[in-house]
Structure 1
Amino acid sequence: MDTQSLAARFSQVALAIVLTILSVVLLVTTHRLRLDIGGLELPAGLLFGAVFQVTACVFLYAATGSRLPLAVVGSLWGLLAMPFLGRGVGGGVLFPAAIGDQIQYSGWIVQGIGVLLPFVMIGVITLVRRRGRAPRA
């Protein structure tokens, strides 16, 4: 696939924007979901968010063969989530800093999943690509 032409780059960015919007909506609305299974409380929303974000990144790379869409997702995610943050990072209605006396870490974690995970995937892809090009003895 031609990943260098201008049309290819525009389509990669457009695809990344659509998936970023979907990611923000899903992760922001489900990040506090918890499931109680056999007395063990699982952070199902955060697990779902991490799986979704990894799947979206793998799909973007597999569909385009480029790291550009992953950079777009990582860069744009925080900007699109900002209206939900309220007064600041970790301090809004959907991302409360604390409820009562209990600090809410899920808001910070979901922001890390949304922003940092695409860049981690870029790093992994870069390492795999470089390892594949290493001269063989």
Structure 2
Amino acid sequence: MDTTSLAARLAQAAMAIVLAIVSVLLMLTTHRLSLDVLGAAIPVGLLFGALFQGVVCVFLWAATGARLPLLVLGCLWPVLAIPFLGEGVGGGVLLPAVIAGQVQLSGWIVQAIGVGVPFLVAALATVADRRRSRAR
């Protein structure tokens, strides 16, 4: 499979852009969901977000065989999340820093997941490629 031609790179970037938009919208709207089990609050929104981002990254890697879409996803994620971060119209609603005097860490965690998972998968793919090339 050709992963280095201009057309292949543009297709990889387009896939990453579409999936980044879906990922941001999905993760930012579900990250505060929790489920009470035996008196303990389980952050199912964050767990779902981490699982979703992991599946998206594995899909991009498997579909393209390249690290470019993973890097595009990791770099584009915070850019797409910016409108939801600040104060004002649309901002501070989905990712408020404080609610009723209590610091909201889930907003920071979902951002770390959105950015960190693609770079982690890209790093793991790089290590796997190097091990394969050394074994040859």
Q: When the two structures are superposed, what TM-score results if normalisation uses the length of structure 1? A: 0.93
Q: Is 1:61 matched with 2:72? A: no
* In structure 2, distance between residues paired with 1:39 and 1:123: 38
Which amino acid in the other structure matches residue 100 of structure 1? Answer: A
1:112 corresponding residue in structure 2: 112
Deviates more, 1:44-53 or 1:126-135: 126-135
**What is the number of equivalent residue pairs in this alignment?**
134
Runs of 4+ in 1 over 4 A off after TM superposition: none
Q: Displacement of 1:38 after TM fit? A: 2.4
Number of the residue aligned with 2:133: 133
Once superposed, what is the RMSD of the aligned Cα atoms? 1.6
Aligned to 1:23: 23
Return the alpha-carbon distance in structure 2 between the equivalents of residues 92 and 117 of structure 1. 24
Task: Write out aligned runs for 1:21-60 (5 A).
Answer: 21-60=21-60
Task: Report the Cα distance in structure 2 between the residues aligned to 1:82 and 1:49, rounded to whole angstroms.
Answer: 18
Sequence identity percentage? 61
Q: Deviations over 1:89-123 (max 9, x none)?
A: xx822111111221100000000001111011111
- Name the aligned partner's letter for residue 14 of structure 1: A
1:78 aligns with 78
CA distance in 2, matches of 1:121, 1:58: 8
Structure 2 portions without partners, runs of 5+: none
Provide the C-alpha distance between the structure 1 equivalents of 2:131 and 2:26, rounded to a whole number of angstroms.
35
Structure 1 unaligned regions, length at least 5: none
SS at match of 2:41: strand
TM-score norm. by structure 2 comes to: 0.93
Q: Which amino acid is the alignment partner of residue 113 of structure 1?
A: I
Instruction: Find the aligned partners of 1:47 and 1:96 in 2 and give their Cα distance.
Output: 19
The CA distance in 2 between the partners of 1:97 and 1:86, in whole Å, is: 10
CA distance in 2, matches of 1:11, 1:133: 26
What SS does the aligned partner of 1:134 have? helix
Structure 2 counterpart of 1:2: 2
1:135, CA displacement in angstroms? 4.9
